Amino acid sequence: MSHILPELPYAYDALEPYIDARTMEIHHTRHHQAYITNLNAAIKDKVELQQMSVDQLIRNLDEIPEEIRTIVRNHGGGHANHSFFWPLLKKDVALAGPIADAITADFGSFENFREKFTAAATRVFGSGWAWLTVDNRKLEIVATPNQDSPIMLGKIPVLGLDVWEHAYYLLYQNRRPDYIAAFFNVINWEKVNDNFLAAVN
């Protein structure tokens, strides 16, 4: 089984003006596709690995043959992270439901969560991601370098933000904080809530 590029659940311009259509198209058709192409090439002779989902592949990297482990970590991670990321984005979805209560319970307030998540995303040096994860039923903010996933750390992501420069450079250039602020206008909280319920149940 080859991994294939998942379709976006919306048009490339659906997130304008917060994330532009050109960025979305290149990010999806070039960057995400490249991770998939490289992952498929790495496992093309490994029949047993081809039966596994990408999340299964990156969950136990120690069990991946050493000669392809870094490729699976980087490009499998890239495929998993981007596949997870796209459905998290949607305009005009209000924060509601159990995820809203859990954020208040674990961070004191939504504003405090927002501040901590923004700080984590701003602080990633170089390429990487900021995440809201569930670990032992508790929400946590985690940052990972490059295409490392919280799944590799045994944590379950419910929200993630790509802070590789390719995610924002065409529209925001060096102004990563502006991109992070814009992201808060396109979080699909219904999807985050679904992810949260799946993680705690």
User: Which residues does the annotation place in the binding site?
Assistant: 27, 82, 162, 166
Tell me which of 14, 31, 59, 200 binds another protein, using CB under 8 A. 31
CA 130, CA 150: separation in Å to the nearest integer? Answer: 10
User: How far is CA 182 from each of CA 27, 55, 75, rounded to the nearest angstrom?
Assistant: 17, 28, 27
State in angstroms the smallest separation of the CB of 37 from another protein: 12
67 scored as a contact of another protein (CB under 8 A): no
Tell me which of 36, 81, 128, 151 binds another protein, using CB under 8 A. 128
Binding site residue list for Mn(2+)? 27, 82, 162, 166
Q: Which residue has the tokens 């136990």?
A: 60
* DSSP helix/strand/coil, 129: strand
Tell me which of 74, 144, 149, 193 binds another protein, using CB under 8 A. 74
Give Cβ neighbours of residue 143 (< 8 Å, ≥ 6 apart): 120, 121, 123, 124, 128, 129, 130, 131
State in angstroms the smallest separation of the CB of 148 from another protein: 10
Q: What is the DSSP string of 86-102?
A: GGGB-SS----SHHHHH
Token pair, residue 126, equals 């170089």
125 scored as a contact of another protein (CB under 8 A): yes
State in angstroms the smallest separation of the CB of 169 from another protein: 4
Residue span binding another protein (CB under 8 A) among the ranges 79-87, 108-116, 131-139, 145-153: 145-153
60 scored as a contact of another protein (CB under 8 A): no
Spatial strand order of the sheet with 156-162 comes to 138-145, 128-135, 156-162
The site string for another protein over 148-187 (x = CB under 8 A, - otherwise) reads ----------------xxx--xx--xx-------------
Tell me which of 112, 145, 177, 184 binds another protein, using CB under 8 A. 145
CA 166, CA 20: separation in Å to the nearest integer? Answer: 12
Query: Do the beta carbons of residue 103 and residue 110 sit within 8 Å?
Result: yes
Residue 64 or 134: the one with the smaller Cβ distance to another protein is: 64
Residues of this chain that interact with another protein (CB under 8 A) are 26, 30-31, 34, 74, 125-128, 145-147, 164-166, 169-170, 173-174
